[in-house]
């Protein structure tokens, strides 16, 4: 469908800025010369270090004395070798000048369990958790380590986490796997950061999430809609989501000692998918299904305008006026509430549809609703749909999709949904589209950086598939940019 003027790109695309910022900060921490390399944070071996068994201390002291004698300047002209240091990760002794052969046994460490050795010691065997720890509950030989083993362990662990979350292959998306859903909490090493990025606003255990707004779904999911696409529209509490501006995990892990040579840890930054488009393009059914697939929260901003329209109609009848600023618009699972009364069905009436595009032209109404929509989508992962998500509400959306379809196809879809005549639907949607496109305040238009998807002739599943693949591409690009 043609004729949609595109809105200018948001300056500098905040999505990119955010990812760049995250990347810059994690590199700053890892690479800053004033911040010691984790290897250098290792403390010289202290004979009083209770983490090492007495055998280790004695062995090492003897060893150092022998070494000093052997290396004494004048004897062979060799400089005194730096002492062995306890690895900061607690797994062995680090030989900084790598002059001792890796694997050489230089002592013994007590790796007894917590109840015998106290919480401090309990942490040590956690290094490389998931791999066998030699002599757990026993004394184990302490070997010279050139750091590669630890690096490998960190890298392996990183890889596992990337596999689970960050790199999110398109095939996984196609199979409906959402990252984070399978995070085995206990899999991370002690002291490692738990998944601090948004546990997405809410992860559905059942069908479609739909925190923000709810639309009456098409019967049986609509033409081609997957079974259950209209079920289980459950409100999600967005407050549980993560702060979209807080790139916590990679930075803290980098400080903790990820070797700077290893790839920086991946992040799964919060994501907002903006879906805009004209009447009947499929925004709500598609957005809801995409959200379900990805474990994101679905926001139907049209439902909010519909509530305002319904309030206006009711106010006219009651001869009083409620200001939009004091209207309570709430979402409770499948239900839409206006001033604490359920209006889920009422806001879908044709009269309300018509009126909604009128109230939506009022800048005062838009300002109030846009403000709420921004607050709602501040945290967590969202699929938000409407007319101005990518242009006004969240021009920083990580992915913007502009859905269209021919007028005739949209009218036919609507007619199948409502049972009204095709001509009537066609006239209604054209009237609404015209108002939405030509109003002064936030007219309907495609954001310059939105992907336009003409769904004419496309099956519902194909549209969902395409958007899910786009999400995967965006995530992968963000991960590539970061590394």
Ligand X SMILES: Nc1ncnc2c1ncn2[C@@H]1O[C@H](COP(=O)(O)OP(=O)(O)OP(=O)(O)O)[C@@H](O)[C@H]1O
Ligand Y SMILES: Nc1ccn([C@@H]2O[C@H](COP(=O)(O)O)[C@@H](O)[C@H]2O)c(=O)n1
Q: Is 219 annotated as a binding residue?
A: no
161 is a site residue for ligand X (CB under 6 A): no
Tell whether residue 460 is a contact of ligand X (CB under 6 A).
yes
Could you tell which of ligand Y, ligand X, none binds residue 225, using a CB distance below 5 to 8 A set by kind? ligand X
Query: Rounded to the nearest whole angstrom, what is the least distance from the CB of residue 10 to ligand X in the complex?
Result: 23
**Residue from the set 179, 386, 390, 395 that interacts with ligand Y by CB under 6 A:** 386
Query: Is 281 annotated among the ligand-binding residues?
Result: yes
357 binds ligand Y per the rule CB under 6 A: yes
Site string for ligand Y, 429-458 (x = CB under 6 A): ---x---x----------------------
112 annotated to a ligand binding site:
no
> CB under 6 A: which stretch of 162-170, 186-194, 239-247, 385-393 binds ligand Y?
385-393
Phi, psi of 358, deg, nearest 5:
-80, -50
Q: Which of 455, 467, 470, 471 binds ligand X (CB under 6 A)?
A: 455
Interaction between residue 282 and ligand X (CB under 6 A): yes
- Which of 23, 197, 306, 379 lies at the binding interface for ligand Y (CB under 6 A)? 306
456 is in an annotated binding site: no
278 is in an annotated binding site: yes
Query: Which residues in the 406-445 window bind ligand X by CB under 6 A?
Result: 413-414, 417
- Distance from C-alpha of 382 to C-alpha of 379, rounded to nearest angstrom: 8
Q: Does 224 bind ligand X (CB under 6 A)?
A: yes
Q: Which residue in 179, 199, 302, 395 binds ligand Y (CB under 6 A)?
A: 302
* From 458, 467, 474, 478, residue interacting with ligand X (rule: CB under 6 A): 458
Residue among 84, 178, 242, 360 that touches ligand Y (CB under 6 A): 360
Least Cβ distance, residue 218 to ligand X (angstroms): 3
Nearest Cα to 269, choosing from 13, 14, 17, 18? 18
* Cβ-contact 338, 219 below 8 angstroms: no
422 contacts which partner out of ligand Y, ligand X, none, CB within 5 to 8 A by kind? none
Contact between residue 242 and residue 197 where contact means Cβ atoms under 8 Å apart: yes
Examine residue 234 and tell whether it contacts ligand Y (CB under 6 A): no
Question: Shortest distance, CB of residue 266 to ligand X, whole angstroms?
Answer: 33
Out of 210, 356, 377, 404, the only residue in the binding site for ligand Y (CB under 6 A) is: 356
Chain residues binding ligand X by CB under 6 A are 218, 222-225, 277, 279-286, 302, 413-414, 417, 455, 458-460, 463
Q: Which residues bind ligand Y (CB under 6 A)?
A: 279, 301-302, 305-306, 356-357, 360, 386-388, 432, 436
């Amino acid at each position: 469908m043609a004729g949609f003027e595109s809105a200018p790109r948001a300056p500098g695309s905040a999505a990119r800025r955010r990812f760049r910022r995250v990347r810059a900060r994690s590199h700053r921490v890892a690479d800053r010369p004033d911040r010691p390399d984790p290897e250098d944070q290792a403390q010289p071996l202290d004979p009083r270090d209770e983490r090492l068994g007495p055998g280790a201390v004695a062995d090492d002291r003897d060893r150092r004395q022998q070494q000093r004698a052997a290396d004494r300047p004048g004897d062979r002209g060799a400089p005194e070798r730096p002492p062995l240091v306890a690895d900061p990760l607690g797994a062995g002794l680090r030989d900084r000048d790598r002059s001792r052969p890796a694997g050489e046994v230089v002592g013994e460490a007590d790796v007894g369990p917590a109840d015998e050795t106290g919480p401090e010691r309990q942490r040590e065997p956690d290094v490389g958790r998931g791999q066998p720890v030699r002599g757990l509950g026993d004394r184990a030989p302490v070997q010279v380590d050139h750091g590669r083993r630890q690096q490998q362990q960190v890298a392996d662990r990183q890889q596992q986490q990337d596999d689970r979350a960050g790199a999110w292959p398109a095939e996984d998306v196609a199979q409906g796997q959402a990252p984070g859903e399978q995070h085995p909490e206990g899999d991370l090493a002690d002291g490692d950061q738990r998944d601090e990025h948004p546990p997405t606003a809410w992860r559905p255990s059942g069908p479609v999430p739909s925190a923000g707004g709810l639309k009456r779904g098409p019967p049986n999911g609509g033409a081609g809609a997957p079974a259950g696409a209209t079920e289980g529209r459950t409100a999600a509490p967005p407050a549980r989501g993560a702060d979209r501006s807080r790139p916590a995990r990679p930075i803290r892990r980098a400080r903790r000692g990820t070797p700077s040579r290893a790839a920086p840890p991946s992040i799964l930054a919060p994501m907002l998918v903006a879906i805009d488009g004209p009447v009947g393009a499929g925004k709500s059914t598609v957005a809801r299904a995409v959200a379900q697939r990805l474990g994101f929260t679905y926001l139907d901003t049209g439902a909010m305008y519909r509530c305002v329209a319904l309030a206006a109609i009711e106010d006219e009848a009651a001869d009083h006026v409620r200001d939009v600023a004091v209207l309570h618009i709430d979402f409770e699972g499948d239900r839409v509430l206006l001033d604490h009364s359920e209006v889920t069905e009422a806001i879908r009436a044709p009269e309300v549809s018509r009126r909604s595009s009128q109230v939506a032209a009022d800048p005062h109404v838009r300002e109030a609703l846009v403000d709420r929509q921004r607050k709602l989508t501040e945290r967590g992962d969202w699929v938000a749909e409407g007319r101005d998500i990518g242009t006004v509400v969240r021009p920083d959306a990580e992915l913007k999709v502009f859905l269209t379809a021919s007028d005739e196809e949209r009218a036919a879809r609507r007619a199948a949904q409502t049972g009204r005549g095709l001509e009537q639907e066609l006239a209604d949607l054209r009237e609404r589209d015209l108002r939405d496109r030509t109003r002064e305040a936030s007219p309907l238009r495609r954001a310059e950086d939105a992907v336009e998807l003409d769904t004419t002739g496309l099956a519902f599943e194909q549209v969902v598939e395409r958007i899910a693949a786009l999400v995967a591409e965006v995530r992968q690009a963000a991960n590539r940019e970061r590394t």
